[in-house]
A and B are shown apart, each in its own frame.
Chain A
Amino acid sequence: MMRVYWQILRNEFQTLLRAKWVLGYGLIFLLLTDTLFRFAGGGTEVWVSVSNIMLLLIPIISLIYGILYIYQSRDYLELLLTQPVNRSTLFWGLYTGISAPLTVAFIVGSALPLGWHGGLADGSASQLFLVLALGSLLTFIFVGIGFLMGLWFYDDKIKGFGFSIVIWLFMAVIYDGLIMVIIFIFGDYPLETGIIAVTMLNPMDLARILILMEFDISALMGYTGAVFNQFFGTSLGTIASFGMLSLWLVIPAWTGLRVFKKKDF
């Protein structure tokens, strides 16, 4: 079992490295962090900016790559399924085989410039850690959603890609817009608890808020920021947030596995 898993994982790494674009992906983060170090001079500003780009870029890239991978590997899947290989092992091999290299590219790309820009400024170690951890989590979450979409719309690529783009657009842009509309319309009511609950349903928002809290810039959000701070700033809030992110990690991947196990190839 484990041997088969490692064989699949190794093969994924080889294939990805040969395709070279994963190196390009890491290079984007490398150039980004390096440039920011040069202009902002290190410290908090760098990691806030990295996190801003990361919050938009990682979900869409991971999502598209996840779904693209399923569509591109139909032959490979069919070949492996005719071998004495367990479907679950195969699924986890593919899933981690895609997510892990992307994560490594992001972490190495973002952290490498520290080497020639003189390491971490005081107090930014925890910030760096949070940005890298959230980026990794988002990679796994959105590759999982991409896999799920690819398996659901196995024979209808246009639909699969369409839904994936819509999911990203919804979580990245529309969701916040809707929250704004709700706040605007029902501004006279005490909404804060509800807004916190709704925010927790969107993994991209969750990551964004965790970063806002860590960087102590929630004050920019006025009263809402204060309320958010009251909740997300506490250890209960942090635990709840990471709990929700874990659910986002588990549910799409697990659903994908179930679809994969029942699927006719």
Chain B
Amino acid sequence: MTPDELEQIAETERESRGRFRHTVNVCLAAGCMSCQSQSVKDALDKDVARRGWGDRCQVKGVGCMGLCSEGPLVSTASSAADVSTDGRLYKRVAASDASEIVESLESVPVERLYCATDVPFFQRQKKIVLENSGVIDPERIEDYIAVGGYRALISVLTEMTPREVIQEVTQSGLRGRGGAGYPTGLKWSTVVKSFGTQKFVICNADEGDPGAFMDRSVLESDPHRVLEGMLIAAYAVGSSDGYIYVRSEYPLAVKRLKTAIRQAERAGLLGANICGTRFSFKVDLRLGAGAFVCGEETALIASVEGKRGTPRARPPYPAMQGFLGQPTLINNVETFANIAPIIRNGGDWYAQIGTEKSKGTKVFALAGRVQNTGLVEVPMGITLREMVYDIGGGIPDGRKFKAVQTGGPSGGCLPAEVLDMPVDYETLARLGSIMGSGGMIVIDDSSCMVDVARYFMDFCMTESCGKCVPCRVGTYQMHRLLTAITQMTATPQDLAMLEEFCDLLKQTSLCGLGQSAPNPVLSTLKSFGDEYKAHIEDHTCVAGVCGKRATGGRT
């Protein structure tokens, strides 16, 4: 594949698209799929065929449009000059609405299903990673190429040296989107400097945080973007072998990734001598098997090597000694997804977005007790209040906001007092939470914060791999104490013991799972200490959750 050939494919694709007066996009990502969006697409296809509109109307399956709570979502666009159906979005579409939607293409929108897009949920977003989500068909490489895909790769291979690529990424200020926020450029240059007979690139798509589904959406909606990012990274660090470690719980993402890899191989964008250069790279999938700890990089490497996913002490970091003892670059899905636009537009462009230390945008999975749940991409530095009230649309059912949880089981619960704080790596860490991979769960006054802390401890206890004692035994003991509190049988000494355990786990655990397991407890103790007190001293739960019911669940 040469630059000209790529341009040729893009041109042909755009031309064939221009032949249709209208395009109807149906979301075929997992969220809408579970609301039967496939049958909506089939019905639309059938209706277009029935009318004999096959030559002027195209029905396309696309990726996630963001507003998952209102699915299935359908949008329309037109290339005709006389009618404008651009940007119409329909929500909660059923298969029986197909005919009405097709009919409306030449006239006014269907009022009944119309979903306003001039609301903050859409307007406040800035899409870089998700720019193609909901626009292109994730199962066709031509569609990705038509919107400028793989152009960054070709310009890297033909015009830039590996050093220049790393410089551009460093310039952009991009930090790892998996949670810890390690500067991406720095990680890449460490891999370059490390000595090894072979180097590996691994994409971490083991999105284990409960309440986070950004990576899944990116893989389902725009898999080629991740491949392109990996290819550029491989060129920069001098690797010829890559793996994508993806959760087996995401069958649709696995299927689309497999399709994307096959298409890229056929197009000569993966494999030997890519674009006629000396650069070769091949990618293989590795399926996870349901272990949260495998998101930790050394555990992930063990799992890719076919072993039990237990972490090991660092250093040496995987960038020096990773897969098979060789230097290994591990980045998250969203990090790789940011690479192509950075190369295309330059590192300086990216560095303009966001705050001083946290550049660019971040994709969040907004869920829980909030009006609009779904996937949003916002510039770093947006306040939590804007996230919850403007984008999220506030708390439904007239209930009261209580906390927002970020970072999953490794993060913390942030109370109403800090709602005006900006969302960036440093601020969240200072407040006792973490950025995490991007799960953001809103909690209202119907939840008890002690019970929430117990829930996360239950998670960490079950997911602890059992290698180091502080984590294996400590999470069990902390869970026991938290259960006692929710059952109203705890004493003040138990609370003191709980705090002591928090410190112990933080200081002595082997990997991030154990070190951050106390975060939910610490943050709720700090902001909602009176709830703990009420459980212990007065045997009451303000939310009315605890007591008899809290005995349920895994203990």
- Do A and B make up one complex? no
Residues of A within 8 A of B (CB): none
